[in-house]
Each structure stands twice: as C-alpha cells, then as structure tokens.
Structure 1
Amino acid sequence: MHHPVHVMIVEDERVIALHLRKQLERLGYERTSVHNAGYDALKAIERDPPDIILMDIRIDGDIDGIETAAGIPPHLLIPVIYLSAHSEDATLVRAQKTRPYGFLIKPFSERELHATIQMALERRVAELALRDTQQRLSLAMTAAQMSCWEIDVATRQVQRTGLGSFSHLQETETITESWDDFLERVAPEDRAMVRKAFTFAIHNGEFYDIVFRTIDEERGYRWLRARGKLFPADRTSAMRIIGMTQDITDQRHTQDKLREAMAVYETTQDGILILDPKLNVTNANKAYYRITGANAKNTLHHPPYFITPEKLPAEQYKELLLALQNRKHWHQDIDTQNTGGGPISLAIQIIGVEDDDGKLTHFVAIVSDRTAIRQAEQELHYLAQYDGLTSLPNRLLATDRLNRAIERSEQTGSIVACLFLDIDDFKNINDTLGHAAGDQVILIASTRIRAVTERTDTISRLGGDEFLIIRENLKSEVAAANLANKIIQELERPFYIVGQEMTLSASIGISFYPNHASSSQDLIRLADTAMYAAKDRGRRTYAFYETEMTENATHYMTRSLELRRGLENNELVLHYQPQIDARTEQMVGVEALLRWNHPQHGLLGPAEIIPIAEQSGLIVEIGNWVIREACSQARQWQDEFDKKIRVAVNASVRQLRSEGFAEAVQHELALSGLPAEFLEIEVTESMIQDEASMIKTLHELREVGVLLAIDDFGTGYSCLRSIKSLPIKRIKIDRAFIKGIPDKTDDVALVEAMLAMAGSLGLLVTAEGVETREQYTFLRAIEGIELQGYLFGKPVPASEITADTSPKAKFS
C-alpha cells in the first residue's frame, strides 16, 4: 500500500513556513506539518515520526535547529535537511556533527528542494535496509553465540564484533585489542595451539579450525571454536585474517555428559535396550549381549526375545502392552533361557520416553541379571527347609507339612500319626568311630526309613540322630505300630562301615491327631516324650504317648536316680586312652573318659551319662569324682612305673561356673599327691569366651599349677584374642581335621595353620583321632606334637595301662 511521505517543517517565521509548505504541495508532497519551536518539534516526533525534516537552523526558543536535530532518537533514522541563509564555518561544523542528509542555502529553487528531499529519502531507505540486515546478522550471531573477528597481520590488532567478551554472551559494538591482550584471556594450556593456528594461517593462507578455552572473570573456563582464513593485502586493505568465533561451552558440557552417559551405558552390569514404539530393538549395550548370549544380528530390529507372545503367557503379554500404553512403564521378573538354552533369571523394566509435546518416541528397557541371586535364594530356601546331610525335610518344613496334614484330616476325619525316632547309642558311634562314620550311619538310617515308608509320608531329620515320620489317613493305631516295627526291623539289618559290621537300633515314640493333640508342635513334643518312654523300656521298641506321661519327667527322673545310685555304688569308672609323643613313640599321658557300668544296660558312654548329669545337677559331683579318681590313678602309675605320666580330664560348663572349683581341684591334688603340672583340664572352645566367671576360674586353675587345654579345637568359634590372653597351654586338634590328612589338601592346610598359630603363641599341640599309618607318618615329623587315637589304643580300663604301653608293636 502506498504510504504518503510525511515532511515536517521546523521554521519560526510563519510566512517562510507557509511558502515552503505551498512549494512542497506543488511538488506532490501531500502530507506536511509545521512547528516553530524545537521542543514542540521533538514532542511531535515522539507522537508521529515524520519521514523527513526540513530544519531551520536559527529558530526561536531555548534550542536552535541543530540542537533540535541532535535530540531526535537515533533509532528512528529520520533524515534532517538544514535550511539556512547563513553558512559560517562554525555553523557548518556544528551541523556536521549531527550527520544531516542535506544543507540548503536560502533562497533555493523548488527543483533544488525536491532533488535534495528525494536523495535523502533514498539514502534513508538504504540505511534502514542496512540496519535491518545488521540487526538480523547481530541477532543470528548472538543466537549462535558467535562473533566475527579480524586480525591485522601487520599490526596484530584484533577487532571483534558480536560477542562482547569470551565470558559474557552479549551484543556489543566492535572491540579492538592487541593480539597479546587477546592471548592473555586464552587458557595457558591452549595458548601454544592458538599461536600455532595463527602462524599456520599466515604461512598457508588456508582455513583453520581450532577449539580452545578462555578464562572468564571467575577464573573458570569457556570453550570457543574459532574458524578463519587469511586474506592477502589489496589496494584498499592490509593483509588480514578474518573468521568467526563460536561459544561451544554448552555443547562441550553436553558432549561430556553424553560421553559419561555412553560410558555408563557400555560399562554398566545391567543390559540396556533402546526400543522403538513397536518394541523393536534399535540399540543394545554390551552387558545385554553378555547376559543373554545374543548378538546384534538376532537382536536389532526385533522385539526382545523374552517378551514376545511366544515366550510370555497370553495374560502376561496383554498386561505388558496395556501397561506400556497407559503408564508407559512395566516391570517384571522373568525366568527364561539365554540363547544357548541355559536358564537365566531376569528383572525387566521398560520405561517410555516422550518428547516435549508428550509424544512417545521410544522405550528404554533395563535388563538385570538376577540368575546368581535367584540361585542363591533357592539354595537358601532349600537350606532353610531341608537337611544338608540327608536332603530330608528339616523341622521347619516337617512342621509345615504336619499343619497341612492336620487341616486335611479335619475334613476327612482320618488319623494323622507322628513317629519320633531316635537312634540308640548314636553318641557312642561318633565317639568311637568318628563323626564321618556317624554321618554315614545317619545316611544309611535315612535311606532305610524311606525304603519302608510310603511316597506320601513325610520323613524329616530334626537334627542329630532324630527323625520324624508323618503318615496321614490312618484307619487305626495298629497301622502306626506296624510302621514303627517295620522301621525298627529295617534298621537292625547288618551293614558295614569303616570295615566293621554294625546294626542299628531305634526308639520310636508315637502320637496321634486328634487323639493326643490338635497342634503340630504339641504332636511332635508328645511323640518325643513317648520316644523317651520307649528308651526307658529297653530301646529297640516303640511307645504310644499316654496321657500320664509328662515331658521327659519319667525318663530323666528314673535315669537321674539310677545315675546317683550308680555314683554311690561305684558303678562309674574311668577308661583311659594313651597320648603318645610322636618323636619317641612313648606314652606321655592319658585322657580319662567316663563310663557307667549300668546293671541292666551294660557299659554306657558319656552320651548316656553327661546329659542326665547336666540336667540333674550331678555333673559337678561326678566331675569332682573324675578329677579325684584320675589324679589318684596317675599318681599310682607314676609310683608303679617310675614314669611321669600326665592325666587329662574334661571339665563341664557347670564345673567352671561353680564357686571354688579351683580350690576343689587343688584339694584333690593334695589328697592324691599328684604334682599339679601332671593334671591337664580340657575345656571346649565355647567355654573360653568372654564370660567373666569362667575366665576368672581359668586363671585360678592356672595359679594352682594345672595345665589347661582346648579340646576339639577348630570345631567351635575360637577367639584368638581370648586364646592369647587366657592361660591356655595346649590345643587338641579335633579328629575332623586329622581324618583327611595327608590326602586332602584342605585338611592339611588347616592343620598346618593351627600348628603355625600354636607355635606363634607357644602352645603345645595334641592331634586327636589318629587312626592310620599315613596320618601318623605325616604328624610325627612335627616337632613336639603328641598324638591320640585308635592307632595307639582305644579307651581301656586302668588295669590295661602298663609301663610298656607303646605303639611300637603296631609299626614293626
């Protein structure tokens, strides 16, 4: 649309102003305005800027025409043509400073006026276009964080336009500085590189492209990228390097973050997949390929194989699609296979990623390998519910199954039987044949019990030599009795172990639901009670629970009375097992072991004595008798054999806790006449922990002069700090470690470690359970060690210990 030119006349003489206005109208300028004062003209310019101003220099008022022109806002770019009848030098100098578009000396012709106005308007159009171009360029450079720079090669002056400085991104006018000043703001580590680029451009004239750092006001860094080229001197300009500088600090930080993210992406232990909206894999990290065994060929451009409709159940796959559609998130643990067919457990998490407009762009899937964790959980679950030796259910699982059997019985009205089985004299097997043989006996017993039970029965090992058998849907109690007889008879069949023929006997207690109890715990407890009743009846039998039975009372009362009577009737005896000096092969001591000549049951070992003694309180009295008898016998041997024989006795927890135990030992030594250094008191590892009373007793015993030894060393939870600080003189390495030498490297290493520890602490060492020539050959090479075991003799009555007791005959 045509825009009429607006001409403003600033003239204080009305006649001249009117004449000038008429001239303009004749020349075709349709829109004019007249003002006779400078301030009035400036206010009118603010309201309605004209396209051009005809300004009289000498006008009335506080400011003249030149001052009025100087007050026009520069950004309006309004051309000013001065009209004056005078052209003094001083006036011209003042007028030039306002950069007018023309100067007409009055009087002038219409043609002259028209030509001057037209040239001014054309110049204004060009300047407006140039200003717009410069603004666009400046805005573009600011938006791109760029500046234009020029280096005069001869003077090394640098001119920058665009970015005011390296540390502040702002639009500014051209800044001139020296090359050295510019280099001062370059990071010291990058200055040589910048100098090299400058020199390269001068000598080669080619483009250079470098990235360097500059120092901001806070002594931080900003990253800049500079590109430029040498332009040779010509007729109008000197040799210059001209180029652009761009601030890439944000890009650099983004690149650093991307590199960090890529490092995490490639080094994380979890597999990471990038999926398109259709769940096809577009990228996968190394961990994913390692976890699944897949490769890029069978992974990319396909959905992950473990979430396909063929792998996931229909409901689960439907849930996956629905979750990703609605929540953009899905999490699931999956048991699947790797590409080699091996089982793996994966924790899968898929997360949707949207753009700024909320449109789904892709999914990220995180694949965590939980195979090892799942296997460990399964192993822990198994260990929590099954016996490690026999693989039978343990007490926890048996109790749970009994609860379920009771629930089913309530619905059917049938009987549930609990058979509590205990192997008779099992402690003797462990003591005489060793724990390894005991484990084999347990395995044989479990196999034979399973052989005579039904598939639906639950056979559980409760611990030690105790088993629980649960049978459902019994029609009568006779069926339970028949099952108990079958088990007892099956266990009595001979078998061979460690070269010896053996038979087992068992005592079984039986309780019934609902006849005897309504809870699983009560049923097991009552069956246990009945089992002790079976033992009291002579073993190798079973007993039904009877209401008059109370928990263990009858058994322990009877046996404790028998034990007290046995103590009074001298039924308790000591057997002695030789201890041999490995170097001389001579007996240097014996260990006193308690036995009971029971009137009905024959010779009973510690397993039939110690538990009753502990619970009845007889252990202290019996323990004092053992010390008395052992000291007296050792003194007798020393007199008869003229040999300094040492005797070792075991002390119980109750003895060590009893008040005055050390004084009692001292009293028995005095009565027997045995020097204190020939009495060795053995304690277990669990007895040397930080209980104050027991530690005090140990020190009191050492003051008496007796030797203190740790029995079954290595099988408990020894505290080396306690061993070092307590008055322990000897350790007895348990037979569990001796049985594997010299063939088992683990046992050899453990024994050597114990020997090294003992040597460092100045402790004597006895090896228990020496049963073979190979064990003896290995151990005899150890300086100062003593040996004890069946190879040198079983525990025997005192009468069978002679002055010539020696293992030499065994090795001849």
Structure 2
Amino acid sequence: MTGTPPQKGDSTIPPANPDIHIMIVEDERIVALHLRQQLTRLGYGRVTVYSAGAKALEAILSDTPDLILMDIHIDGDIDGIETAAGIPPYMHVPVIYLSAYSEDQTLERAKLTHPYGYLIKPFSERELHATIQMALQRRKVEFALKRSEERLYLAMKAANMTCWEIDIKTRQIETADPIGIIHPDGDAASLSADLDKFLERVAPEDQRSVKCAFETAIKKGDFFDVIFRAKEGGSSVSWFRAQGKTFEGTPQNPRRIIGVVQDITDQRVAGDRLRQATTVYETSQDGILILDQELRITSANRSYANITGIPIEEALGHRPHVISRETFPLSFYREMFKSLESRKHWHREIDTLNADGEQITLMAQIIAVDSDDGDVSHYVAIISDRTAIRRAEEELQYLAHYDGLTGLPNRLLAIDRLGRAIERASDRGTTLACMFIDIDNFKNINDTLGHGAGDQLLVVVSRRLKALINSTDTVARLGGDEFLITAEDIKNEHAAAAMAARLLKGLQIPASIASRDISVTASIGISLFPDTALGAQDMVRQADTAMYAAKNGGRNGFAFYKSAMTEDASHFMTRSLELRRGLENGELVLFYQPQYCRQSGKMSGVEALIRWNHPTEGLLGPGEIIPVAEQSGLINEIGQWVVEEACAQAMRWRDEGHKCVRVAVNVSVRQLRSDDFVDVVRTALALTEIPPQSLELEITESMIQDDARIISRLHDLRKLGVSLAIDDFGTGFSCLGSIKSLPIERIKIDQSFVRGIPEDRDNTALTEAIIALGRKLGMAVTVEGVEEQAQLEFLQQRDCTDFQGYYFCRPVPAAQIFNLPAINVKTS
C-alpha cells in the first residue's frame, strides 16, 4: 500500500481535522502500522488500531470513532463484514472497507452493510485521504438530512398526523406511523391494514361520503379531502381527516393514493398538538414562517433569521426573502400562485443570496391552511438550508470529472470534450488532432525519489502542457503519467508535428523536484480527424497505439498513427494470448548450453535457455518469448517456471547418476523487483533438494544501478547459498565501486567483446582488461560467444575461468547434455 501526503497549497482535498477519531481494524500488524503512519501524516490526530472484530466492537461502544477503516479479511471468529454488521445502527459510524480483492461474492456481502467506501489495495495516500473526507462529509450531510426528517416526523406526530400510501390494485395501506382509524390497536404490526377494512371502521353515517371521495380519486385522479367519524365503543367519537391524491403507476411503483390522515378528535388533543408544534417551531433548524393571505410574514422562527441573515423584526410584514418580488421573473410567481390555488402546496429549490450577499441554496415549501369554512386562513412556509448538500454534490461532481492531483479533466470528461470537438470539426470541415502523451521512465522517478516527487512532477507537467497549448485546446490526465490533448483547427499533419515538437521541447526544461533538477522526456502518439479516425474512442485508441510506436522508436519523440500499427498491436495481443496458453499447456521447454573449464576442458556448468514448442510454428527462440512476456506482464510467471524447471532438471540429472553441475538461469528486472522472488527460489531449492550453489542466477548490469531494493534482494538471494553472476558485463556502464560491494561471484564477458579477437585490437584489450579485473576482485570469469578457433586459442592463454559459445555446442535438450565430449586444453 502506498500513500502520498497532500501537497502544500493543494486545495483539491480538504485538510484533515486533528480531532477526528479514526479506528483501523486490520490483523496484519505491518499494514496497520503503515496505515496509521499515513493517517498521522495526513493530520488525523486520533487513530486507534484493533486486530480482531470482537475487540473492535467492544471499543466502539466505549469510545465511538468518527470513521472505521475495516479490512475485510481479518483473523478471528468474525471477518470485517460481520464486524461492520455488528455496529449498532443508531451510532451512524461510517465504514470504509479495505481489501485486495473485489470478487462479486465479497462485494455483495459488503453492500449489505451499506459502507461509505471500498478501497482496493494498493491505493494511494491521496485516494485514502479523499475517500475519508468524502465519507465524513457524507456522514455530516446524511446526519443533517436525518435530523431534518426527524424534525418533519416530529412535526407531523405533534399534529397527530400520519402519511399513508394505498396500493390501488392490492388495496393495501402503508403508513408512516400507526393511527387509530387504520390500526385500532395502535400497533401497525398487530393487524394487516387494507382499504376495505379501513372503510369498515368509518361510522355508517359517513361511509358514503368517504367511499365517494376514494372512488372519485381512483377514477379521476383528483385530490380528495374528507372529514369523517370512526366507530368507537360506547358514546365516544373520534374524528379524522383524510387527504390524498391518486398517482399513476410505473413497473416499480404501482398506481397508488398518497396522502395524510389526521386525528382531529377534540380541543384538548388539538391544544397538545399545538404546544408540540410550537416546540418544533422554535427548535427546528429549518426556517418556519406563518404567512397571511397575501404571503406576508406574520411570524418567523429564529432559524429563518439564521439562514437568511434577516432579523425577525425586519422580516415581519414582508414577503419571505426567497419569493420577494424583485428576485424572480413574473412567470415564477404565476407558477407559485397557481400551485397554491390548485394543490394548496408549492415547493421549489432556489439559488439566492443571503443578507450578506453570500450564495445559498434553499428548499422552500409553502402550504395553505384552511379555516373551518374551507377558505384559506393563512400559509405555512418551511425554508430548509441545502447549501452544504449542494456544495457536497458539486464537489462530488468535480471529483467525477476532474483529476484530483492536477485539476485537469479526467478520462471521462476528456472523451466527452473530444467528442464535442469532433462534432465542431465535422461541421466546419477542419482537422482535429488527438495527442496521447506518456512520460518516459516515470516509474524510475517514483521508485528512486518517491511517489511524492512523482506527484510533484505530474503537476509540473500538467502546468507546462496547459501553457503550451491554445486556449481552445483541451489537456486532460487519463491516469498515472498519461495525458491527452485535443487540438482543434489543426491545418495539417505538419502543424500537428510542429505542435508535438514544441510540447517535447517544453517538457525537457529542468524542473526542481525533491531538491533535484529533473528533466523529463515524453513519447507522443498522434491521431487525426478525419484522416485516421471518425470517433472519440477510435482517436484515443489510435493515438495510444502510436504512442507505443514512439516509445519503441527510442522515446522522446512522436509518431502519427498508421494502420499497420493496429496490425502490430493485434499481432502482439495474439502472441501474448498464445504465450499464456503455451505456459499453461506445457509448451515451454528449456535447452541447455554447456560451459567448459579453461584448465580441464571438462563441462563446468550449463546455461538454461528458454524455447517454445509452438503448435503450428515449431520451435521458437527467446526473441519470440521474452519481449512478449515483458510487455504482457507474463515475465514473472515464466521466470518462476524457468527457476523451478531448471532446479527440477538438476534434480533429475542427479537422480540419473550424473555429476552435479552448475545451472545458470537468466533473471529479469521485474522478477528481482517482485516481493516474492526470494521465496520462489527458496521453495524451488527446498522441493528439489539440490545444493544451493548448483543454481546460478544471472543478472544484467543495468539492474543494479542505484536500485537499493534490487541490491538488497541480491544479498537475500546470496544468503540462500545460490551463486550470482553479472551477464553481458561491460555493456551497462557499471559502477565498479558498487560492484565490488555486491555479492557477485562471477562476471560473464559479452560476446560483443569477443567478436573479432585477436585481430580487433580494441576488443582484445577490453577482454584482457575485464578478465584481469574479475580475477583481481576474486571473481570467476566466463567468456561468452566463442565461435572461432582463433578466439579459443587466444582465450586459453588468458586467465579466464570458463568458455561458452557455438564453437563448442549450440543449446541442446537436457537429455543430450551429458553426451557431449570435453574440449582440448591448450594452456601455457
């Protein structure tokens, strides 16, 4: 798991509140410690860690956190999902799951607990911080909404009212709260409520009017408002008021009646209801207004003043701030009065300014209140402040369309803008260029200077790209170190090439990153509309393909898309699929090339070389395997197979009675950077029980240039007892000072130095110097690429250790290796 602290001055992610209490539930101690350090760097002041679900639940009850980071796969009787399910709902503690897996079954289980986030490991520190901030903001907004709903519920309960919904087809009644006429026992669970039973409870003298109101509402969809008596034991009478309207149905929601039922039994109940409503009125965070028939304020609570900034005494006698005459056009007021007249209710979300001139978003509702004779006596207005919710929605909208690090449009918005640019270019008959930009060797910067420095560099690159394009063009970050530029009104291919050259030149200007001056290069792929593509997705795909062609051409350059590139990419895709199938079907084999001791002429070791028994093309060499494996990501799997097969073959030779020989295996840089490579070697040695010194791992010089992780891994391998060799020595600009401190036992001279000796005086001198260097450092020296008698006779007079090359033998199957003869020794 990696993380990046927010950069100074970066406003895309809100700063952490040090008072926020975050609980980590993670059973891997190192992961939990790393996560805790990340949170501390981000500014979270209180972080607690628990390794088991049961302990976490106990702690939640005694010291409730503001947010929980929950690992799904934790040891113990309950996993992370079960732990989250055990949190009491009333506590409203947000849970963000952390997992390296995203299987459908796990996701379905996790969804049942309604998490606030789901982070797939590994994730960046910035992503963690943004997810936490969004979860905390969501909790804050949801809590405010819940309180608002509770206040509305209390207001209706204070008025002895309940909402009801009647499914016209099934005639079932659902209510928000039990009320006597629907549930006589006062318990919604004690009796199944339906419309027919409800009508039976209406007093006989009122049944006709009630049934008529419902039938009219069902047939015509009209609003109904009916007052009636309910059957009661003895002489007591209960009065109710039912209101509602029929709404047309959908497949998800059938045709139904929605309305309210109110118990209006007596003045004492009304008095209690009024006192409760007054309490809600005074304590509500929503602004509540009483308006006269002209919509002028006769009473206002304190929340209205807090929301609008208008003192109560100044508001009285005037229309509410949100519907004042000078605020909106005449059509606004026509619609409002029409709604109040026909439905006796009006609501709308309004963007306006408060008394201090600050932008606010309000939800305004106005409800008409009738007198006993049916005329409107006054209105009630409820003003809810939705500013925080609107800002949260806008921030989520921003995060959905813009990159959080650079502020550039993300892939989604970039594709949309490219599509619109294509439409404009099509209408105007102009040319459009799409440029796919990838920073060269960006991973090295992350690995050597850290992800923080990498993020700084991406910000610098984004600013430079914006400065180098026209105002009508768009630059976007697609992810990682990939950028996309949409350049409109490009005259021709030459103009696009000039622009690409200008971008490359601008990016090469050194930038100060992590106290170092860093100069970057990039590879650019270009597609043109309408020359090569007609749609946005096609343009991006073609530009991406051309970018890889630019990289293969040596980087720091650009390439225009050609149809042949797609054919090459298709060939690579086909070849990579075939190679994976070949690995799974056992089509890969190892051949072995012998190495001979200079002094004895006997075979001293073999080098394992991979071959592919292709089902239709026959035996293929490493040139058809390694490049595809590197680009497709199969190199680690194939490399593991080579190590295991080489060790297994050494075991088979031993079991057949042959002498123990050294088996050399080439290792890629990706294998060495893999965290489990040492375990792969350890396991292969343990399963085959061959001596560790029988296995020699060959690495190239370029792998060990200032890479602390690889150097550390070499020491770990040497501790296993295996031999380490530098392959192609002399071709990678080695630092001799670092080589002498590495656990290297052998250097192999590349065949490019052997070619032409002894006639080639330069190669002769270099070969002699490398042999002398190796022997002085106490290393064995193997000379590769011996193909001629003159080369052999020259080397036999030098102090090298072994020979290898086509002069002696080409790579052969394992069964033939011990049938090869020794060579003649001629040493002075």
- The two structures have a TM-score, normalised by structure 2, of 0.42
Query: Who wins on radius of gyration, i.e. which is larger?
Result: 1
- The two structures have a TM-score, normalised by structure 1, of 0.42
